[in-house]
Structure 1
Amino acid sequence: MTTTDQVAQYLIEDQMADLTDAIREAVQNGVDSPGSERVLVSVTPDRTVVCDDGAGVDLAEKAGRRDLSVLGAGTKARDDDATLGEWGIGTGAIIAKGAVRIWSGHQALCFDYQDARDTAPFAQAAGRNGVVVDTEHAFDGVCVTIDHYANEVPAPDSYRWPRIYDRLCERFGYLTFRTGVEIVVNGTPVDRGHPFDTVDDARVAVTRETTDAYLALTHTPDQGLAIYSNGLYVTTDHDAGVGGVVVSNGNLTLNFGRTDIQSGCDRWGRIQETLEDARIALYDQLSDNALAAQTRSMMAELIATDEGLRERWRGRQVFQLVTETPVSLAQIQAAPQIALQEGVGHGADALVERGSIILDTTDQATDQLARAARDDDAAITLPDTFVVHERAEALGIWEGYTRLADIELTTRQGRYLLFARALADAMGIDRTISWGEATADAWTDGYTRIVITDSAVTSPKRAVWTHDLFLVLCHEAAHDRSDKRRTAHGRRFESRFRELLEDPSARQAYTDLVGAIQEQGFKRVFRDRGVTLG
């Protein structure tokens, strides 16, 4: 195998790894065909057919056959925004996936790259060598048929086929918008309309239109920013700190696989400048309570590197304490001392409750701030730090957690525990309820156990302590991970806690239990409900 053959094989077999890549190339060629107004795509597990109504290709001429059979021989220029193709390798991507017939006029160019067919019209075709055959009827435009190789596509009953159909619709989402050519996949037109339409229903959105692109940004960083080159999907940037779409007004310079943007693409460089401004405008519209972790991380990076934004967002609650409480740069810098710690740890939660600033470096945004402050030429200064366990010891904060056996409890503690167990069972809280000692009112491992302490009960009056225990059970049940070392009182916890607290069935369970005790007494109710001390 010569070097040229090896390069060709690499381009055909490795760079175009998916059936959707081959179909994309066929559709691109159809859209680029002069006079084309519609491209029809039919995909089944056995065969793909792509037809366009353009001017077609004269396969009787040597130039027409060469453009479709020789890698790199296409006439499309990389800087030609009137066409989508760039490299002249589209046919190579197509022939890798099956026995291919490219039919135009009264002739068809046939390929059998894997030399897997021994019947006409593929009997004489093998590798990159195509064979031209006459057809009984003429086709106006170009019709590409790919009879799939079994080893290049999923099994006919595979779950992956619906995904392939969905990805095709995604790939061609804005092609009609950019070219005016209608794309129909399996009978359904694929047209997402104007890029700005995608953010019509977003609560917070920013749109920009420039000579280079259309940008429609939303605050959905977890979904990523979908990037389209001249209407064709390229990739999704999950590090952009925003969601939405970017549709370039003209071709981006892409890699061979058309799956990423090459460095040095001037148009993309200008688009990124617009993206940076639009992203800041989007963040300015968001309330602090709405900031996602990725958003805070991006804001932290900008605060560390941009003096103007540092002052502009100094009061924004971008960072996080070990209790998952949000905090601003202004609050951090106003503290006489701060601490940096990975997670809450023993005693840290109590110190934060007393007003200490203990930053959680497991949070990406907060860690970025800490690292930026440690740089030799740091533009951000932070207060001096203290050691958490030394501060806790100096303030007399007990840092232990002890679970007590039932036989160690006083009569009062035993009654509280029996009530809590009966209430947890009535509320459907599937965790073992115990009594213990700690500075916290209670703690949980987030899965199997809740331990309550004396401090959860604020009054010996029945109407008060029963409600205290209802609140603490709702609180601990809302934690889906241990709060013994990490008191997670962030937005996610608050949402779950509020839902449980306001759940009518939970409140009814509490009311029914208290009412039964009022009428029948503690002993009978506990006996009837099967709750005991071990």
Structure 2
Amino acid sequence: MTDHLTLSEFATSESTDSRLGSQPSTNETVTMTADERVATYLIEDQMADLTDAIREAVQNGIDSPGSSRVLVSISPERSLILDDGAGVDLKSTEGRRNLSVLGAGSKQRADDETIGEWGIGKGAIIAKGAVRIWSHDTALCFDYRDRRDSGTWADINGRDGQLVDAEHYLEGMLVEIDHYEDEVPDPDSYRWRRYIRDLRKRFAYVQSRTGVSVVINGESVNQGDPLEAVADSPHPSLTRETEDAILALEYTPHEGLDIYSNGLYVTTKREYGVGGSVVSKGNLTLNFARNDIQSGCDRWQRIDNALEQTRDDLYAEVSDDRLTAESREVMIEAMASESSDEQWAHRKLFQLATESRISLEEIQAAPKIGWVGGAEKGADKLVERGYVVLDTSDSATQRLCDLATDEDTSITVPETFDVGEQAESEGVWTGYHRIEDESQLNADQRRYLRFARVLAKELGIERNVYYSEASADAWTDGRTYIVITDSAVTSRQRAVWMHDLYLVVLHEAAHETSSRDRPSHGHHFESKFRSLVEDPGNRSSFAELVQQIVDEGFESVFDKYEVDLQRSEGVSSGQFR
């Protein structure tokens, strides 16, 4: 009577080692065949880690005629892959050739009945450990790196495999990889959890396409019907089925779009500006490592066209204020093409200096526009007065700026004006002017300024300290003064803002020339700034000042150091321009 062994029976060394190791050899050597250089590449270089080898074995199990289930067991010692398909007759010439000749096999690229393509996966398998490939009553054994010196593997190495008789009949195929220690992580490494996670994702939709279930360490990996993948998404979503694929899109651009070839995970693409999954009906033409789609794949070209239209339909359901920078860049690229120049012209995709959004139609309707790279003196005030000042620190707006000078794009924008000059002419320039009447500062600003003046004295910095409403954190002329602003502090919590001012004052003190406009932050500056911050005397002075304030209060300390506020009759603002 024929015995049909389960995966659990093969998962112990007693069951596999004793049965195979004790059987007489058929005295036939089977060599993994290919050109020497090609064979070395296919075996040693083509795959990144153990998951690639297991993936190949699982794919073979899925492709096996009659297979309905592939069981996988992964542990630090060994990996086992067992399918219930027709198996391979290793006693036949064809059977031995299919498992020993790199590139050989019955799989064809155009064959949508199988998910493998190249017939080279066996090379990845023997690179990761001593291997037994067992089907029916015969096993083929390899020890590519010659790391085993007992049992079946004692007398074999390299690409030469050994056929042995098995005591028990196995209908289907078992692939056992007895791991080489240097090919796998340490037993307690986090990478084992990552391996399981990656393999579960790899075969998530295989059952929906092939009908073959994959079970890894006792748990099914099946994610069900791809059309239901985004059914419970809290984000806007859209599903569509074509002759070539199932598209399940959701508005999660940061996650990217998972691409599955006939149910087998291939790659995640982020250039579409959406999340979700695409599962092709039939194989995509993949690259050698099977982690991307080859150019010229006709099926993917048709899917790509449908995908772009579905994405556009999904974008129509997303409000302008929810559009991420990634999505807005995708939309701008589409608008830059001749066929889509007005597709989203009414959508508010571009960021103004006030951080509000504006559409291409509104931009094109302006007589002139300005560009700023983030906060710039007076830019927000100009926007409030009706000017169009675009903020290129926003990546999508920067892309528009790039396209505006590209002769090959269909996007046109008005002429530009100088934001600084316009702000000054409008009287809204808030550039490098200190506040002359310091009594007009609010309570927090007065405290920041007086503390900074005390701090400068304690640190031995012989520069006057002033206050400004500009957007820069601070600046200096490099000799006589330092100007701080509201931006110098990041929190109203006392411990935080005092340390903020400590760093800002030392930063400006490290500048030996003016830090307005484009300050030099080269190696010399960085070295000096670091030495000031790390100087034990400075750190001690700062700590003592803070403790003094804790013990005595701000006003007592300020009075002791005789720091007070200046009124408008002080230094003219003109010297700070």
Q: Secondary structure, in 3 states, of the residue corresponding to 2:267?
A: strand
Could you say what the CA RMSD is over the residues aligned between the two structures, in angstroms? 2.9
User: What is the CA-CA distance between 1:404 and the residue it aligns to?
Assistant: 7.5
* Separation (CA, whole Å) in 2 of partners of 1:354 and 1:342: 19
* Contact residue 259 and residue 279 of structure 2 kept, 8 A: yes
Using a 3 Å threshold, how does the CA distance of structure 1 residues 306 and 286 change in structure 2: closer, same or farther?
farther
Shift of 1:223: 0.4
Residue 206 (structure 1) aligns with = 238
Residue 16 of structure 1 pairs with residue 16 of structure 2:
no
Match of residue 227 from structure 1? 259
Q: State the match for 1:33 in structure 2.
A: 64
Candidates 337, 341, 345, aligned match of 1:310? 341
Aligned to 2:126: 95
Identify unmatched segments of 5+ residues in structure 1. 422-433, 452-484, 486-525
Please give the TM-score of this superposition, normalised by the length of structure 2.
Answer: 0.72
State the 1:531 CA deviation. Answer: 4.9
- Name the counterpart of 1:49: 80
Aligned to 1:86: 117
* Residues 336-385 of structure 1: CA deviation (Å, up to 9, x unaligned): 11012322322223222322211123333222222333233542221111
Report whether the alignment pairs 1:392 with 2:392.
Answer: no
CA distance in 1 between partners of 2:155 and 2:408 (Å): 70
Asked whether the equivalents of residues 347 and 359 of structure 2 are also in contact (C-alpha less than 8 Å), the reply is yes
Aligned to 1:444: 487
Deviations, residues 185-242 of structure 1 (Å, cap 9, x unaligned): 0000110011122211223112111111111111111101100111111110122211
For the 8 Å contact 1:401–1:436, the answer to whether it is kept is no
Aligned to 1:156: 187
Kindly report structure 1 stretches of 4+ aligned residues shifted beyond 4 Å: 401-405, 412-421, 439-442, 448-451, 526-531
Q: Write out aligned runs for 1:116-515 (5 A).
A: 116-202=147-233, 203-307=235-339, 309-400=340-431, 409-410=438-439, 413=441, 415=443, 436-438=467-469, 443-445=486-488, 447=490
Q: Which has the larger radius of gyration?
A: 2
Asked whether the 8 Å contact 1:373–1:379 carries over to 2, the reply is no
Q: Distance in 2 between matches of 1:445 and 1:529?
A: 25
Q: Which amino acid aligns with 2:122?
A: T
CA offsets, 1:49-83, max 9 Å, x none? Answer: 00001111111112111100110111111111001
Cα distance between partner residues in 2 of 1:364 and 1:269 = 28
Aligned counterparts of 2:550 and 2:489: Cα–Cα separation in 1:
28
Report sequence identity in percent: 55
Answer whether contact 2:374 2:392 (CA < 8 A) is retained. Answer: yes
CA offset at residue 151 of structure 1? 1.2
Give 3-state SS (helix, strand or coil) of 2:152's partner.
coil
Aligned partner of 2:284: which letter?
A: L
Letter in 1 for 2:242: T
User: Structure 1 pair 61/317, CA: closer, same or farther in 2 (3 Å)?
Assistant: same
Matched residues in 2 for 1:83 and 1:528: separation? 78
- In structure 2, relative to structure 1, the CA distance for the partners of 1:189 and 1:151 (3 Å cut) is same
In 2: Cα distance, 1:388 partner to 1:420 partner: 30
Distance in 2 between the 1:322 and 1:287 partners?
21
Shift of 1:529: 11
Cα distance, 1:396 vs structure 2? 2.2
For residue 324 of structure 1, report the CA deviation from its aligned partner.
2.5
Query: Does the 8 Å CA contact 1:398/1:438 hold for their aligned counterparts?
Result: no
Superposition deviation, residue 443 in structure 1: 3.2
SS at structure 1 position matched to 2:165? strand
Shift, 1:334, TM fit = 1.5
Deviations 1:122-155 (A, max 9, x none): 1222222211111121212101100111111111
TM-score, with structure 1 as normaliser? 0.78
**Contact map agreement 2:337 2:409 (CA 8 A) in 1:** no
In 2, the alpha carbon distance for the partners of 1:200 and 1:419 equals 55
Is the 1:300–1:366 contact (alpha carbons within 8 Å) kept by the matching residues of 2?
A: no
In structure 2, distance between residues paired with 1:327 and 1:415: 37
User: Is the Cα contact below 8 Å between 2:230 and 2:248 reproduced in 1?
Assistant: yes
- Relative to 1, partners in 2 of residues 1:27 and 1:445: Cα closer, same or farther, differing over 3 Å? farther
1:400-440 per-residue CA deviation (whole Å, 9 max, x = no partner) reads 366779xx853x7575658999xxxxxxxxxxxx9943267
**Please, which runs of 5 or more residues in structure 2 have no aligned partner?**
1-32, 450-464, 473-484, 495-515, 517-548, 559-577
- 2:338–2:409 CA contact under 8 A, matched in 1: no
SS across alignment from 2:376: coil
Provide Cα deviations, 1:137-181, integer angstroms capped at 9, x if missing partner: 121210110011111111111111111111110001001111111
Distance 1:377 1:89, change over 3 A: closer
SS in 2 for 1:444: helix
Q: Which amino acid aligns with 1:319?
A: F
Contact preservation (8 Å) 1:398, 1:439: no
Q: Decide whether the 8 Å contact of 1:418 with 1:531 is kept in 2.
A: no
Kept in 2: contact 1:351–1:392 (CA 8 A): yes
